[in-house]
Amino acid sequence: MRVFIAITLSDQVREAMGYVIGDMKKSGARGRYTPVENMHLTLAFIGETEDIKEIGDALDQVTFQPFTITTDGFGHFGSLYWIGLEDQPALEALVRSVRKALSDAGIGFDRKSFKAHITVARKVESRQALRVRVPRVTMEVDSFSLMRSDRIKGRMKYRELAAWEARNESIQEKNGLPLWLESDRLVIRQITPEDKEDYLYGVSLASENKAAYQDKDLAEILWKDVLEDPDSISMVIYDKDGGQVLGSCSFDYWSGQNPEIGINVDPARHNQGLGTETVNRLKEAFRELRPGCRLLIRTRKTNLSCQKMIEKCGGRKLSEDSKSTREDLFSYLLLP
């Protein structure tokens, strides 16, 4: 059967798409218009397969929180016409998670770069410029679906095979480790192989890392080490509203099972309390996920502002002969 993964649209969005099609027809455009009941937002196209159970098992690994999408813009790929969406980092993150889950399970899919769009017509012909008004409509995304497509009596029919719902909470975890955290202003998310540019940029914001991570060859080596290190988990810190990369953080297991955190926030935002917000959110997460955990945080001995921030978060400096402390670092105890 022919399958794909998509977000189904609300009645309000489909109604808006109907208005767009009406404007196209009034402008004299001819083509194969998408029936409004078939409209959707494709996250990954798989194509012909019988591996439905394997696909379902892979998608069971995907976690995400509810978010909104908003219609914005009108364009085309050749003779295929579509309605666009406003930039939404949470949508991009969901696409990356879905595609990573498929890739990890060895399931083939169309790997073309994701461009958020809703197809309204194919094979469009028009002798004049189209005058189309795109209603601005927002909908909440709280699930995604595995869809089947069949051609019945010359028309495409779509049927939902399974759906996966969002988790409406500020923390997502796996095996007692945070995958996704939210605070008032931040989203802190564990990296995937698709996050290379965001992660390298986030790490390079620290002055002591800038030269290394701006060297492309060295950055490639460092990125490979980050992905393959079994004793370290790395995350990117994003602005919750705008999706801007604000920094990075990681937790390492240099001292056995007790994680030790390292964080790096854009120096231009140091006076906005983002470092404090990051550390406090990580403390809350580990207190919830690993009760009784001995949580450490490290900082360079030359970074006085970071030391003050850690102490503000309740960190207690360990003695310099502690096994967890490197020669160039101070380690602080955050929990218990």
Specify whether the CB–CB gap between 285 and 178 falls below 8 A.
yes
E-assigned strands of the chain?
2-8, 30-33, 40-48, 67-77, 80-85, 117-125, 138-141, 143-152, 155-165, 171-174, 177-182, 186-190, 232-239, 245-255, 258-265, 295-300, 316-317, 329-335
Catalytic residues: 40, 117
Structure tokens at 275: 């470092």
Helix axes 216-228, 207-214, angle to 10 degrees: 110
**Alpha carbon distance 38, 41 (integer Å):** 10
SS3 state at 290: coil
Q: Which helix (H) or strand (E) holds 66?
A: none
CA angle 47, 95, 186 (to 5 degrees): 175
**Alpha carbon distance 43, 97 (integer Å):** 10
In this structure, what are the phi and psi dihedrals at residue 260, rounded to the nearest 5 degrees?
A: -125, 125
**Alpha carbon distance 208, 202 (integer Å):** 13
| Cis preceding linkage at 135, omega within 30 | no
**Alpha carbon distance 336, 333 (integer Å):** 8
**Alpha carbon distance 71, 87 (integer Å):** 10
**Alpha carbon distance 131, 32 (integer Å):** 18
Q: Residue 81: which of 127, 120, 129, 42 has the closest Cα?
A: 120
